[in-house]
Amino acid sequence: MRKINRRNFIKDISQMTGGAIVGGAILNQSLLASIDSRSSLAENIYIAKNGTPAENVAKVFEMKYGGIENFIGIDDVVVINPNGQWPNQGGTNCGSCIGLIDLILNRPGGFNGEILFVECTQAVPTGYWVATGSGLDRNGPYNYNDMISNYQNNGHANVTSVRIQRNQNDATNWPVISSPTTQGWVRLEWNSPATGCLFYLPYPVIRSPYSGKLISLKDGVFENGSLTATALKFIKMPNLNNHNNGTWQDYAGVTSATKSFLGIAELENATNGRFNDGHYSLHTYGQACHGPTAADKAWACGESVGAWMTYCRKPDIFLTSAEWSGWGGRYNTSATETKTVGLADNPTTLDYYMSKYVIYPSQPNLTAGPYLNPDYDVSRNNFRQTIEGCISMGYGTSDEAQMAAFVYDYNTPTTSRQQIDLKIKLFREGSATEQDVIDLINLYNAGN
């Protein structure tokens, strides 16, 4: 890529008044008009690697938004949904979770809202929420319960957690309801246009332990029976793992952002894939209704995830933690320290990239190794078919020509024209300085 002429840029910027700069005179010059064309494509992915977990998390938000304050408002209610059903790398990295929570609490301008850390671990009562000893390997220093207690004990009463329970496990606290009048499950009905199978797409209504407000993942924040104007931000925060062991491709394959919806929806009877009244759930893998092959069933899972986002709520952002990637399984020792975090608008695009460029290169020559590559044996690749089912509902892409990956490596720092463009935009809005722009230009030129 062509370098930016820093001398001319500084000369031009010094000759212009603030009004001229804000009016766009600099932005419209030819040396800045040709911003990296990739940024205008359908799907942008922001990757940070080789920093600490907190540094990686902060960097991807800076790359996409110019800072957390441009994404999270001062009074927002923020729902973070991790993976916590399994110990070790089966839980979303605790350091990444702390990095995100701290980033929100310390946003420029302050934070007066609340953060809820929530998950339905289905029939598994333990997992990373209560892990101790060796169960914390690769993801410490805390389990999730202790992490939240630490925030509470240090004066952050507005950081809480809710373990969502299935109705069949706790019908008193998690009843089936028809509207957000109390905490519970709303079971929306949906018929798959591809298979004809009749689903429930359940979403939770959560009672905040901090404010007492009801948070409907479909409709927003309720207080005293009425929908409020408080903004709800929903962050999906999965980890990146191979679902089973490294000697064969199991029914799910790589599991991350797309499949993680099985940890926010209700799955009555779990792996059976059906509710007691006969409706199907998002866990489609064991039911002939969805097709005869494992790939058919995986595709149906992805399609139902897309339906959940359409009829319940699409998360505002997907943040995948891959500090450790389990290429041999979700919680055994077959994992690699990949020290990577990815951010994107759609789960499928992020899953494709993280699978192909993070977990796949990290694994040795295993029997199932090629299936960690989403472009391998596509029609029988269960992971690829999961994301294809979700893409069929209009979410993301598996076409690399429609992706733009912006990667920041703390070992070899650089930046992109897209990042300079974003910084100039923030400069024009008054939230970045002239020196901030020049510093990015210097970094860009050093790498080109």
Confidence (pLDDT) at 447: 67
Q: Take residue 293 and report the two structure tokens written for it.
A: 């092959």
The whole-number pLDDT of residue 23 equals 34
Say what the pTM is: 0.88
> CA 255, 258, 262, 265: dihedral to nearest 10 degrees?
170
CA 147, 148, 150, 156 torsion: positive or negative?
Answer: positive
Query: Look-up: residue for tokens 């927003």?
Result: 220
CB atoms within 10 A of CB 230: 18
Pair 383, 395: CB distance under 8 Å: no
- 401 within 8 A of 40, measured Cβ to Cβ: no
**Do the Cβ atoms of 400 and 41 come closer than 8 Å?**
no
Question: Residue 77: what are its φ and ψ, rounded to 5°?
Answer: -95, 120
C-alpha 340/C-alpha 90 separation (Å) is 16
Contact indicator for 406, 320 with CB cutoff of 8 Å: no
Please report the pLDDT score of residue 435 as a whole number. 79
10-residue mean pLDDT profile of the chain (448 residues): values are: 49 39 38 43 88 97 94 98 94 97 97 98 90 93 97 98 96 96 97 96 98 97 96 98 84 96 92 90 93 97 98 98 93 93 98 96 74 94 98 97 92 77 76 77 72
For helices 53-65 and 94-105, angle between their N-to-C axes, nearest 10 degrees: 50
Q: Output the CA torsion sign for 43, 233, 56, 162.
A: negative
Tell how strand 226-227 and strand 232-237 pair up. Answer: unpaired
Name the DSSP letter for residue 280. B
What secondary structure does DSSP assign to 202-235, as a single string? EEEEEE-TTT--EEETTTEEEETTEE-S--EEEE
The strands making up 220-223's β-sheet, listed across from edge to edge, are: 176-177, 184-191, 198-207, 214-216, 220-223, 226-227
Alpha carbon 332 to its chain's center: 23
The alpha carbon of 355 is separated from its chain's Cα centroid by a whole number of angstroms, namely: 14
